[in-house]
Structure 1
Amino acid sequence: MQQTATAKGLPGLDRVPPIALVLSGVTSIQFGAAIAATLFDDLGPSGVSALRLGFAAIILMALFRPRVRGRAPRDLRLVLLFGLVLGTMNLTFYEALDRIPLGVAVTIEFAGPLGVAVFGSRRRLDLMWAALAAIGIVLLGNPFGAGLDTVGLILILTAAACWAAYILIAQRATSVFTGSEGVALASVVAALVPLGPGIAQAGTDLLEPKWLALGACVALMSSAIPYSLETESLRRLPTHVFGVLMSIEPAVAALAGFLILGQSLDAREIVAIGLVVVASVGSSRSATVAAEA
């Protein structure tokens, strides 16, 4: 029988070490973002977002073939909210990336999952990690010097808030939908979010074969590949190990920005990114200790 994608992930991934899966997923999504940024001059960030999310929806629907008929109205409302958050997160991230460096953008965006991790915690250690991350983000904003583009900063903070909401909604979706059905359905809604702005920015260029091909590559690198790799790795890794490995995303983003976009970082920005990475690692390990206590 031919193997297909299942709730357990794509065929063949079970033979790859889980740590390698996480690191490959992180590398794929950040270098995918860097490649996407190279298309902004031709299609605009909204146009690239429209292509990425459009192709991601097609790929995820084909892979996971979610059932739509017979769903309860409340489940469909959850999918609608899930998709709106996912689409807004991607659109605001790309619009921010057009204004601020990739490594800086990803680092600030990490405020979203870090906020979820420490929200409601009364443990002093968790509050310390939150404070450390906040210091790093303030350093990146550089309020006492030539700070970041104001619109870019607002956009990436919006993306961070959407990431936090995405995590909470995704947790709910896993109890309602089987495997990856929820995110596949949500991806269809998400693809509609940047469609209007994307057409306004890129127009008929969105239909040119070369841009369609590059958009499909970005969708594979930034959505389909990392999602499949992370889903499989989560089956075989403790949550805290997965969290620690994912914490290197800002550093990988900075490397991708340097290699592909020529974006160098000064000492202040490197220290700030390091603080957020350390805070993310500490938060992941602290959460596990609390859960085991």
Structure 2
Amino acid sequence: MPHTSSQRPALGIMFVLIAGVFWALYIRSSAKVGALVPGASGLAVAMLVGAAFIAPVAGVVPAPQPIWNAAQDPMLLLMIFGTAMFASVIPYSAELMALRNLPQQVFSVLMSMEPAIAAIAGWALLDQETGPIRWVAICLLMTASVGITLTTTKGDSPKQKDDGEDPVPMPLPE
């Protein structure tokens, strides 16, 4: 059933709210994992869980070539590995380190700049069109980022906050 033009704004708002809820859950759960699990062990477990959920889907989704053909092409394996490192492992590791040292409110505003940075990169590198409304939104995001960063006190940092309880690291299986 096609959506009418009057349903599109409500549908868009619904999707924005759903995305916002999951974004908040991601930030809260990542902060908790960062406090409980030392190093990048939590990230490694999360990547394995994600791979376990997506692997069966990759095996049944129609593709030009079966997924197992990738194992026969070393260049393709290198590209898959590079994409995994630069699109997931490195950024998520940096986010985990930032969450350990920044208040969640500051982190969430700084993360909200990702679409703005992508829009600027698309405009500068790919000559993608960015209209005036998008530029206003980008400027507002950057202003909010600077504002929250400047107005958050050092005492708000989870690393410097001392509530008398240190998080106990979760033991890892050997």
Query: Which TM-score band (shorter chain)?
Result: 0.5 to 0.7
* Match among 32, 37, 42 for residue 177 of structure 1: 37
Q: CA RMSD in A?
A: 4.0
* Match among 185, 190, 213 for residue 78 of structure 2: 213
TM-score (norm 2): 0.57
Higher helix share: 1
Tell me the amino acid that sits aligned with residue 21 of structure 2. Answer: A
* Match among 24, 28, 51 for residue 191 of structure 1: 51
Tell me the amino acid that sits aligned with residue 39 of structure 2. Answer: G
Indicate yes or no: 2:118 matched with 1:257: no
**Deviation, structure 1 residue 197:** 4.1
The one of the two structures with greater contact order (alpha-carbon pairs below 8 A, sep at least 6) is: 1
Q: How far, CA to CA, are the matches of 1:158 and 1:253 in structure 2? A: 22
- Structure 1 residue aligned with 2:26: 166
**Deviation, structure 1 residue 271:** 0.7
Give deviations 1:175-206, integer Å, cap 9, x for gaps. Answer: 43222211211111112333344441536454
Tell me the amino acid that sits aligned with residue 193 of structure 1. Answer: F
Residue ranges of structure 1 left out of the alignment (5+ in a row): 1-142
Q: Is the 8 A contact 2:30 2:99 kept in 1?
A: no
TM-score (norm 1): 0.38
- Structure 1 residue aligned with 2:63: 202
Q: Is the 8 A contact 2:116 2:138 kept in 1?
A: yes
Q: Secondary structure at the match of 1:194?
A: helix
Q: How far, CA to CA, are the matches of 1:265 and 1:164 in structure 2? A: 27
Q: How far, CA to CA, are the matches of 1:167 and 1:248 in structure 2? A: 15
Give deviations 1:151-181, integer Å, cap 9, x for gaps. Answer: 8x83x76444322111111222234322221
Q: Is the 8 A contact 1:247 1:277 kept in 2?
A: no
- Change over 3 Å in CA distance of 1:183–1:228 after alignment to 2: closer
* Match among 251, 273, 280 for residue 138 of structure 2: 273
Q: How far, CA to CA, are the matches of 2:65 and 2:38 in structure 1? A: 37
Q: Is the 8 A contact 2:110 2:145 kept in 1?
A: no
- Change over 3 Å in CA distance of 1:289–1:225 after alignment to 2: closer
- Change over 3 Å in CA distance of 1:252–1:180 after alignment to 2: same
Percent identity between the aligned chains? 31
Give deviations 1:76-115, integer Å, cap 9, x for gaps. Answer: xxxxxxxxxxxxxxxxxxxxxxxxxxxxxxxxxxxxxxxx
**Deviation, structure 1 residue 253:** 0.9
Residue-pair matches, total = 143
Residue ranges of structure 2 left out of the alignment (5+ in a row): 158-174
**Deviation, structure 1 residue 252:** 2.1
- Structure 2 residue aligned with 1:288: 153
- Change over 3 Å in CA distance of 1:231–1:291 after alignment to 2: closer
Q: Is the 8 A contact 2:113 2:142 kept in 1?
A: yes
Runs of 4+ in 1 over 6 A off after TM superposition: none
Tell me the amino acid that sits aligned with residue 222 of structure 1. Answer: A
- Structure 2 residue aligned with 1:116: none
- Change over 3 Å in CA distance of 1:170–1:260 after alignment to 2: same
Tell me the amino acid that sits aligned with residue 274 of structure 1. Answer: C
